[in-house]
């Protein structure tokens, strides 16, 4: 998903995307997919998930959270379907803080806290619009409430930054 304006409609759009699993297809780094494209994959053959953020569609994913399951990714939240709001996904490692933290799905877009976070409202990957100036989009800061969202990394990146989900 490419950067979007900071509105509740944007949160709803992202919420709809990450709840949907579509047929396997190539998704280019400069496009927005309408679903997570894992339907039809043998997810038991994949063992690691990387939820990333990059400063542009051409930039390397520089902020990410990841986890591994040696038994495979079948049945894993978002990768193999939606598991509900404010639900534990996994213990993930942040590339930014090197911290391992239990990460949950966000609350629904009416709050809106959408994506992944270390509470239902401290979003590290996804959409986190609060009345605070610190809360528009998360980028894998896991150590402080007010570093989670609209940090200098995001503000300085301009309007072309993106989210990604990679499995391997």
Q: Where are the domains of the chain?
A: 8-167
Going 146 to 48 to 77 to 127, the CA torsion angle's sign is positive
| Digit-coded pLDDT (tens) for 78-115 | 999 999 999 999 999 999 999 999 999 998 888 888 89
Strand (E) or helix (H) holding 156: helix 152-157
Higher-scoring residue by pLDDT: 109, 72: 72
| Digit-coded pLDDT (tens) for 119-139 | 877 888 988 776 555 556 778
pTM of the model: 0.91
Distance CA 52, CA 134 (A): 19
């Amino acid at each position: 998903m490419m950067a979007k304006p900071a509105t509740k409609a944007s949160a709803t759009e992202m919420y709809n995307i990450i709840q949907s699993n579509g047929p396997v297809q190539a998704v280019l780094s400069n496009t927005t997919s309408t679903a997570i494209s894992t339907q039809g994959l043998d997810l038991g053959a994949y063992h690691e998930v990387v939820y990333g953020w990059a400063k542009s569609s051409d930039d390397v994913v520089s902020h990410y959270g990841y986890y591994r399951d040696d038994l495979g990714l079948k049945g894993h939240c978002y990768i193999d379907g939606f598991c509900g709001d404010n639900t534990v996904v996994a213990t993930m490692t942040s590339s930014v803080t090197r911290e391992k933290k239990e990460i949950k799905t966000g609350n629904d877009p009416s709050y809106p806290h959408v994506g992944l976070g270390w509470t239902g409202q401290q979003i590290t990957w996804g959409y986190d619009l609060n009345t605070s100036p610190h809360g528009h989009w998360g980028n894998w800061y896991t150590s402080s409430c007010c570093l989670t969202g609209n940090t200098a990394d995001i503000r300085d990146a301009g309007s072309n930054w993106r989210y990604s989900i990679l499995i391997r």
